[in-house]
Amino acid sequence: MRGAVPRRQNPINLQTLCVFQAESKYKNGEFAYRKSHDCRLQTKRSLMNNLEIINPDAKSNCFSRFRGMRVRRERLDIFINTKKGVEVGAHLIVLSASFPVFRKYLSGNDIVHVQLPRFPHKVVSAAVEYAYGGIENISAEVALRLYLLAHNLQNKALVDKCTEFLCARIEETNVSEVWSAAKATKNEVLIGVCAPLVAMNWEMFRTPRPFYVTTDTK
- Span 151-202, pLDDT tens digits: 999 999 999 999 999 999 999 899 999 999 999 999 999 999 999 998 887 7
DSSP structure string for 2-55 = PPPPPPPPPP--HHHHHHHHHHHHS-TTHHHHHHHHHHHHHHHHHHHH---EE-
pLDDT top residue among 129 and 107? 129
Q: What's residue 10's pLDDT?
A: 47
Predicted confidence band of residue 13 (pLDDT cuts 50, 70, 90): very low
Domains along the sequence of the chain with CATH: 51-169 (3.30.710.10), 170-207 (no CATH)
Q: Which has the closest alpha carbon to 91: 112, 107, 108?
A: 112
Taking the C-alpha atoms of residue 187 and residue 19, their distance in angstroms, rounded to an integer, is: 41
Query: What pLDDT does residue 51 have?
Result: 78
At residue 109, the pLDDT reads: 82
Quote the CA–CA distance of 68 and 62 in Å, as a whole number: 10
Question: Span 13-21, mean pLDDT?
Answer: 41
65-92 per-position pLDDT tens digit: 999 999 999 999 999 999 999 999 999 9
Q: Torsion angle of alpha carbons 35, 39, 41, 46, nearest 10°?
A: 160
pLDDT at 83: 95
Residue 169 DSSP code:
T
pLDDT confidence of residue 50: 56
Residue 18 confidence (pLDDT): 40
Burial class for 106, CB neighbours closer than 10 Å (0-12, 13-18, 19+) = exposed
Average model confidence (pLDDT) across the chain: 81
Kindly tell me the sign of the dihedral angle through the C-alpha atoms of 33, 36, 38, 44.
negative
pTM of the shown model: 0.72
Higher local confidence (pLDDT), 145 or 46: 145
DSSP H or E segment with residue 146: helix 140-152
